[in-house]
Structure formats: structure tokens, C-alpha cells
Amino acid sequence: MDERELLLLGLLSFQSQHGYQINEFIERNLARVTSMKKATAYAILDRLARDGYASVHTEQAGNRPPRKVYALTPRGEERFRELLRQSLVDPGESAIPGDVGLMFLDQLPRDEVIEGLRMRLARVDEQIAELEQVPPHGHGIGVDLAVEHKLVLLRADRDWLRGVITRLDAGSD
Amino acid sequence: MDERELLLLGLLSFQSQHGYQINEFIERNLARVTSMKKATAYAILDRLARDGYASVHTEQAGNRPPRKVYALTPRGEERFRELLRQSLVDPGESAIPGDVGLMFLDQLPRDEVIEGLRMRLARVDEQIAELEQVPPHGHGIGVDLAVEHKLVLLRADRDWLRGVITRLDAGSD
DNA sequence: TTTTCCATGTAACTCGTTACATGATTTC
DNA sequence: GAAATCATGTAACGAGTTACATGGAAAA
């Protein structure tokens, strides 16, 4: 159920890592996937170790601060697969925000609505353009599927937005 | 930025209401739009009054518990329009959950993945069927647009899921 | 020499949910 | 007579974020 835990387990399933390393990776490469903050990641890693899903051993490189390296235990791998299965079946309610706003759309002058939706459309277009430039990932199809999924939904949103704007434009005679 | 506040302001923009009334309405008709809990709604209504966005006066019908009836003030109406404009332009990051799971999809045996996605597809199909039976709302196009929007995204999700399953099926020879 | 990097954490805070309290009144 | 309805709230809890502390090393 918990996407954050799943993410950390997944990252550890590739290789053992220490918290700082994981946080760097998330910040650099996964900013659009998760918004988990560093303190949270440290806390969850701690919890994973307490629950027996990960083992910890401390490493020291030269005179640097000691690192706590986490490695998945067999139980942790099982936990990972369990959460993964769950997340495939039930990704959780995809809270589509903004629909509350749509509901009250009639309370606003039509041109303000159109202007607002145009700005929204522009942002969606940007996101699409950005995602389209993400190169294929290579290692398995999972990551590529995730990107593709986001793209598909964004394009559907874009097309719908265009349609709505057109209709509103036509109706404002 | 706050969808809950926008929702309450919007409901009050139709007519003055007391908290219990609003909560009932939300529970009965807006369960799929918001998951806001009663205590939260009471608290936000309180805040709206404190901030001058709503006026409060207490009514008593017979021997029943007194009602605190909230009505939008002019400032409240302005606030409502302001939040509404914002929400049209920037509905907020549509957290698409489950994409974390997709990323790690290669770590699971292909038939488990396919089975999981089939179950997911079935649930999406159900949601679509359910939404397709919602009758047109009549009062303005806003509510209908919100439903339509959700439908469009669900259908895009469904089509994508079908495609992925087909591809995985083909690849598992 | 000041800033940034490394690496981990803690303490305070925010926001929302859960569960409960209240007390009359209507319904089963 | 027991249970649900009406109507509002409070207190405790949980999860996550923010901001900060630490202290040596490398980079500017």
C-alpha cells in the first residue's frame, strides 16, 4: 500500500545502498516520480531494518562520515514482491485534482474559464514535450512503461482540454 | 490551492448551509470527488468564518440541536472565484500512483505481472461502466465536464492497460 | 577562507483522520 | 426500550515536512 516503502525496497533490490546515496538518486532522477523528502527516506530505511526487511552494516571510507548500508534480506525481497503485486493490481485511487474546480466552472465568466484552461493546456503541452524527450531506458521495460503511462494520460488530458476549449469558444457567441 | 476549501466555498456559493447539511451532501453525492471527513469540514468551516469568508448565524428548529449556518460574504465570494481560477489553471500535480510499481515490473515473473494487470483492468472497466451510467446533471456544464474528464482519463488508462497486456502476452513465448 | 559536499539524524510543526462525547428526538 | 438521527465538536494520534545540528573534508 505504501508507495514510498515500495520505492525504497525497489531501489535496494537493485543494489545495497546507504541512505544518502538513495536520497541523491531520488533527487536527481526520480523527482517527478516521488516527492519523498530525505528525512522521510531515512526514517523508512530505519523502519525497514527494524522490521527485518533490510540488514544494516556500517561502512567507513577514509575519514568521511560513516555510512549505513542497507541490503534487502530474503524477507525484504518477499515483502518487495508482495507490495509490487499489490501496486500492480490496485495502484490506489488516482486522486484527480482539479475536478472539484470543474464542478463549479459555471460560476466564472466564460472568458475567464477559457483563459484559465488555455494556460492549463499550455502546461500540459510542456509536460508532454518534456516526457517525449526521455530516451528509452534499456534496463527492462518497466521504467519505459511508467513513462509511457504518464504520457498516455497526459495526451488524453490534452485532447480533452482542447475539446472543452473549442466547445466553450463555440458557445460564447 | 486547497481543494477542500474550494469545495466548501463552492457548496456555500449555491446556498447558505450548516455543517451537518454539507457533510451529509458530501457523503451522499460527492464520495467519489472528495474523501474529506466530517471533522475536517467542521474545522474548515470554522476557519472560513474566522477569516471573514463566511458569516455565521445560529438557527434553532424546534428542540433540535442548534445549527450554525454559514453564508458566503462578499470577500468569501471573491476568495471562491480566486481559488476557482487557480484550480482551473493549475489543478495540482495529478499524483498518478502505481507508476512506482511499474518501474520495478521486471522484477516479477511475467505471468504474475499479466495477472495483476488483468485484475487492474477489470477494476478500471468497472469504474468506467459506473461513471457511464451517471445521467447528465442539467445545472450548467461544470459537473458534467468533471464526470467526462474522469471518464476520458479512465478510458485512456484502460486502452493503455489493454495494450500492455497484449504486448506482454505476445512476449511471453 | 568561505562555501559546498558528505552523511545522518532530531525536534517542532502541520494537516488530516479516528474515535469519542453530548443530549434530545424520532424511528424500529 | 434500543437504536438511529440530528448537530457540533474535542482529544489523541499518525504520517510527513521543515528546519536545523553535527563535523570533517574537499572545492571555490
Is position A157 within any domain?
yes
Share of chain A above pLDDT 70, in %: 98
What's the pLDDT at A172? Answer: 64
**Length of chain B as a residue count:** 173
- Separation of CA B39 and C1' C18 in angstroms? 10
A2 grid coordinates: 505504501
Which residues on neighbouring strands pair with residue A69, listed in sequence order?
A18, A57
At residue A117, does pLDDT exceed 90? yes
- Give the 3-state secondary structure of residue A153: helix
* Residues A110, A162 share a domain: yes
Chain A window 43-82: which residues touch B at a Cβ cutoff of 8 Å? 80-81
Residues B70 and B8 in one domain: yes
Query: Is residue B147 located within the same domain as residue B82?
Result: no
pLDDT at B92: 82
pLDDT in tens, A133-145: 989 988 889 999 9
Confidence at A8, pLDDT banded by 50, 70, 90: very high
Size of interface A-B (CB pairs under 8 A): 202
pLDDT of residue B44: 97
Are residues A107 and A154 located together in one domain of the fold?
yes
Amino acid sitting at position B125: D
Task: Identify the segments of chain B with pLDDT beneath 70.
Answer: 95, 172-173
Q: Which residue of B has its CA nearest to A144?
A: B103
| A103–chain B Cβ distance below 8 A for any pair | yes
Q: Give the residue from B82, B137, B151 showing the smallest Cα distance to A116.
A: B82
CA–CA separation, B99 and A144 (whole Å):
10
Q: Examine residue B94 and state whether it is found in any structural domain, yes or no.
A: no
Residue A94 lies in a domain: no
Q: How far is CA B170 from the centre of its chain?
A: 37
Looking at residue B173, its pLDDT comes to 59
Q: What is the DSSP string of A34-65?
A: ----HHHHHHHHHHHHHTTSEEEEEE--TTSP
Task: Name the band, by pLDDT with cuts 50, 70 and 90, for residue A124.
Answer: very high
* A7 alpha carbon, distance to own chain's centre: 9
Same domain, B60 and B119: no
Q: Are residues A73 and A119 in the same domain?
A: no
Establish if B122 touches chain A: CB-CB under 8 angstroms.
no
Q: Are A103 and B10 in contact (CB under 8 A)?
A: yes
Domain boundary among B62, B89, B116: B89
Q: Kindly report the number of other CB atoms within 10 A of residue A54's CB atom.
A: 23
Rounded Cα–Cα distance for residues B170 and B161 (Å): 14
If one counts the domains in chain A, the total is: 2
Q: Tell me the residue range of the domain where B106 lies.
A: 99-171
Comparing every residue's Cα with the C1' atom of nucleotide C25, the nearest one is B64
Name every chain B residue with its beta carbon within 8 A of the beta carbon of A98.
Answer: 87-88, 91-92, 94
Q: What is the dihedral of CA A163, A130, B113, A11, to 10 degrees?
A: -150
**Shared-domain flag, residues A104 and A136:** yes
Q: Which residue of B has its CA nearest to A96?
A: B94
Asked if strand C comes closer than 7 Å to B27 Cβ, the answer is no
pLDDT of the residue at B171: 78
What does the pLDDT read at residue A173? 59
pLDDT tens-place string over residues A27-61: 999 998 999 999 999 999 999 999 999 999 999 87
What per-residue confidence (pLDDT) applies to B52?
Answer: 96
| B62 Rama sector, left if φ>0, alpha if ψ -120 to 50, beta otherwise | left
Q: Mutation test of the interface with chain A: which of B86, B99, B130, choosing the one with the most A Cβ atoms within 10 A?
A: B99
Tell whether A85 and A153 lie within a shared domain.
Answer: no
- In our burial notation (b when 16+ CB lie closer than 10 A, e otherwise), range B30-52 reads beebbebeeeebeebbeebbeee
Quote the cell numbers at residue A49: 531494518
What's the CA A43/C1' D20 distance, rounded, in angstroms? 17
CA-to-CA distance for B159 and B143, rounded, in angstroms?
Answer: 25
- Whole-number pLDDT of residue B88: 95
CB B13 within 8 A of CB B77: yes
Same domain, B78 and B7: yes
- Are B124 and B72 contained in the same domain? no
In a domain, residue B47? The reply is yes
**Segment (H or E) for B71:** strand B67-72
Contact B88 A81 (CB under 8 A): no
3-state secondary structure A61-99: CCCCCCEEEEEECHHHHHHHHHHHHHHHHCCCCCCCCCH
